Structures are given as structure tokens and as C-alpha cells.
Amino acid sequence: MDLVKILIDAGRTAVGVPAAAYALSSIGLNLQFGYTGLLNFGHVASMLVGAYGMAITVDSGGPLWLGVIVGIVAALILGLILGVPTLRLRADYLAIVTIAAGEILRLTVRSSWAAPLTKGIFGIQQFADPFFDVNPIPVGLYGIGRFRFDERTMWVLLLGWGLVALATLFMWKLTRSPWGRAIRAIRDDEDAALSLGKNVFGYKLQSLMVGGAIGALAGMFLAIDQQNVNPDAYIPLLTFYAFTIVILGGPGTLFGPIIGSIIFWFLFEFLDGFMTAAVLEGWFGDVLDSTDIGPIRFALFGIGLMWLMIYRPQGLFGRREEMLIGEQ
């Protein structure tokens, strides 16, 4: 087994497109879940409306920049529609409604009824050409040895990590302001925040909408990289990747989602490479074959998360004292 090769491949994924996309997506979820305490189980829906908003706009003849604006506005509207009826209710209702909304949206864009716009199960392709046309990076490979990317990937990564940096700066400004303090107060105790004159509903709605807009940016970024939107990509699993990343990095921390995403994708790729090699070398005999790797990888992740919850519930970046504080 070539462990070095496996590690390098994992490292490439850890700084690659999926890591950047999920760091961005998790920054949005972190605003909702980590800072405001909103249990949004349908974060994938904002990625979907972002990606589809952009793809449909371009597909109907609009420019790409307009598509990006449409994607963001669509996510803001989605947050408004989901938030208004549910945010006055108990936290669990938001979870129920959002997980359902994600699936409803996926099945709707997939349906033949919506196909004139969304192209149904085939999805929309080749809408991001204007982005790749302006790639200033000369043709070539960048990096050392096996750890390198071509000019197209470099251009995409520049966009992705650039967006992550901007989103982090935005979050830094926002969460260190009195606004950020107010949403953390709401996370800790809604009634107390109300009794102090804070418009809890308004704050939650803002958090849901803004977090969704960041999620939409992540969705658009992934779609641009793949030059493809397809309904079957937007399954609830994506939301739970983001939750795993937020919890791994530490909910309510500035850099948690970034570090969480890098570690998540490193482990994800490493386990895949390692187990594939192990199966090929016959370590598991007849017990496991290559089709078992996917499920086992998830099982290991689950065990890892449980271990984290027990020994480091605050995530990698969180402060332990903060988590040891009981619910009173």
C-alpha cells in the first residue's frame, strides 16, 4: 500500500473544491445553528435555490453575474418563506419544516412539470463558461509532485477560498457586533432576550436568511465548478455534511467551519483511499469488498462524531468552559 500517495490525495481534497464549498456552506449553517441556535435541517435547500437560480438565469439567456444575484435573492426569499411561519414556534418545528422543504424543492425541480425551466432529471449544464473564459491563470500544473492542480482548478479554488475568506470577514464583523451578541443571547434563552426588548423573531429571520444566502453562494460555487446542476445532487446528506463540519470545528466559532471542512474532507478522502487499498490487498479477505467502503466510511464517521461528542463536545475550536455550562 502506498500510504504517501493516499495521504497526498487526501490532502489535495482537503484544500480542494469540496473543502472550499463545504467551508462556505458551513459558515452559513454556523450563523444559523452555531450562533443563533436555529435547527435548520434543510440547509441544502438554499444551496439548491442558489445553484438553480443561477443556472436557470443563464440558461434563459441572462448573464452569469445576474444569475448570481438571482441565486442570492432566491435564497433570501426561501429563508423568508420558511422562517415566517416557523420561527415563532418551538425550535423543532423549524427542523421539521426545513428538512421537508429541502426534499420538496429537490423533487419539484426534478419533476417533469418543472422541466421546461429546470430540465428535470437531466439538469442544466455549461452555464459557467463566462467564468472560465476570464481565467487569468496560464495553462499548466501548479504544485509539487502529486500535490498539484491544473489552471482550471486553480481558478476555481481561487474563487472558492476567496469566497470563504470574504464570508469569514463578513462573519467576523457581524458576530463581534452588538447584533452578534443579540443572536447569541437568543440562542441561550429566547424569553430572556424578549424580556430585554430584543425582537427575537426578527433576529432569527435575519439569521436564517443571511445564513441561507451564504449557503446559496456555496451551491453556486459547486455548480460553477461542475458546470452542472442536477436535482439528485441536492440530497439531505449535504445538510448533514455541513452539520458534521460545524460540530467538528466548533459551533459558534469563527474559524470552526473552515478547519472543520478541511479535516472532514481529509478524513473522508483518506478513509476512502486507505480502505480501497486495504481491500485490494486482501486485508479483509472475503468479509468486505470495494462496494462496502462507502457505507463503512460513514459508519466510521459516525463513531468519530460520537467520540467527539463525548470527549470534545465543543468541537475543535470551541471553548470547553462554554460547553460544560449546563442547561441550568
**Binding interface with another protein (CB under 8 A):** 170, 173-174, 177-182, 184-185, 187-189, 191-200, 206, 210, 252, 321-322, 325-328
Q: Shortest approach of another protein to residue 26 CB, angstroms? A: 20
CA dihedral over 71, 105, 159, 242, signed as positive or negative: positive
User: What's the CA gap between 204 and 74, in Å, rounded?
Assistant: 18
Closest approach, Cβ 180 to another protein, in A, equals 7
Between 286 and 321, name the residue whose CB sits nearer to another protein. Answer: 321
Nearer to another protein, 286 or 327 (CB): 327
CB-CB contact of 73 with 16 (8 Å)? no
The residue behind cell 446542476 is: 229
Dihedral of the alpha carbons of 13, 150, 24, 159, in degrees to the nearest 10: 170
Cβ proximity to another protein: between 13 and 253 the closer is 253
The C-alpha atoms of residue 182 and residue 35 are separated, in whole angstroms, by 10
The nearest distance, CB 176 to another protein, in angstroms, is 9
CB of 191: closest distance to another protein in angstroms? 6
Q: What is the closest distance, in whole angstroms, from the C-beta atom of residue 87 to another protein in the complex? A: 13
Between residues 146 and 173, which has the closer beta carbon with respect to another protein? 173
Tell me the C-alpha distance between 101 and 80, whole Å.
13
Output the nine-digit C-alpha cell for 303.
463513531
d(CA 83, CA 94): 8
- Indicate the pairing of strand 228-229 with strand 124-125: antiparallel
- 123/252 with CB nearer another protein: 252
Give the nearer residue to another protein in terms of CB position, either 98 or 207.
207
Shortest distance in whole angstroms from residue 169 CB to another protein: 11
- Would you say 148 and 142 are in contact if contact means Cβ atoms under 8 Å apart? yes
